[in-house]
Amino acid sequence: MSADPSTRPLKREGRAPVAAVGRFGAKGFGTLWLAWSDAGLVEVSFTPFEWLETVGVPTAAVPREYAEPLKAYFGGDAVELHGLPRDARGTAFQHQVWEALCSIPRGSVRSYAGVASDIGNPRAMRAVGLANGRNPLPVVVPCHRVVAASHQLGGYTGGLDRKRALLELEGVRIEGDVVRPGQLTLFEG
């Protein structure tokens, strides 16, 4: 019996062919692992890729076209990373959600319901959450900017401490696990 496809982890066999893998020292955040193809970034992670040992992909220095914007971002500069070349694989729905995430401006947050509304499917909040969690390019596709309607941080594959730190780096003020009331209105796309 096969598992429900909406609950399976991101299928690795669906990943674009990876040309190389490199590590980037993200100031204040530790090591960021990047995998790229000739067309763009395939995957980004704050932990080593599970598949790396079995695939035999060469390691290399992170190309300047990725390293310079990442250095600026983690240095606190107001840069958006979603313009970097991307070669992430996913379903049509996942890509629709990921593109909607890229429209959330730096320093803003959006609720899962808001993203669902943005893509024209206001009842798809849970599906948006699943697509958000399967984003293979965290930070580049800013899934950390999605919070619960109550302004609670919610989940993040990199952990809540990292989500909080990313949002604070972008100027969002947070108290505990809640976006500070009155400081920020949920971005309405």
pLDDT above 70 as % of the chain: 85
Q: What angle is formed at CA 113 by the lines to CA 110 and CA 114, rounded to 5 degrees? A: 45
pLDDT number for residue 109: 94
Cα radius of gyration (the chain): 16
Determine which one of 143, 147, 148, 179 is catalytic.
Answer: 143
The yes-or-no answer on residue 143 being catalytic is: yes
**E runs forming strands in the chain:** 20-26, 30-36, 41-45, 110-111, 146-147, 174-175, 178-179
CATH topology of domain 92-179: Arc Repressor Mutant, subunit A (1.10.10)
Predicted TM-score (pTM) of the model is: 0.85
Indicate the domain borders of the chain. 12-74, 92-179
Tell me: pLDDT of 2 over 80: no
By the 8 A CB rule, do 115 and 128 touch? yes
